[in-house]
Amino acid sequence: MIRKHHFVLTENLLNKNASIRIYASPSLDARRQIASAELPKLAMEAASKAIQEWGQPKSQITHLIFSTLSDLDMLGADFHLT
């Protein structure tokens, strides 16, 4: 089963990180901080839904494949998810 989830920059996140709204503003650090905080939550939500749809006990899981296209160093994100 392949699950794709996306998170949305909410008004609240944008207000906390104003540099994201300004053209050519150096906002990479803000974007990395947002992604580092939000991606693990998103992964947990996707995994929980997939396990529920699967209908088997979690003890039957043998492999975890974790991927992100955010270009972030998400070292240990798979560990935290498990």
Other CB atoms within a 10 A radius of the CB of residue 62 amount to 5
DSSP 3-state of 74: coil
| Res 1 pLDDT > 60 | no
Is residue 52 within a helix (H) or strand (E), and if so which, with residue range? helix 28-54
Per-residue confidence (pLDDT) for residue 57, from 0 to 100? 92
Residues 32-66 pLDDT 10s: 778 777 778 888 888 899 899 999 998 999 988 87
Whole-number pLDDT of residue 54: 93
Global pTM reads 0.62
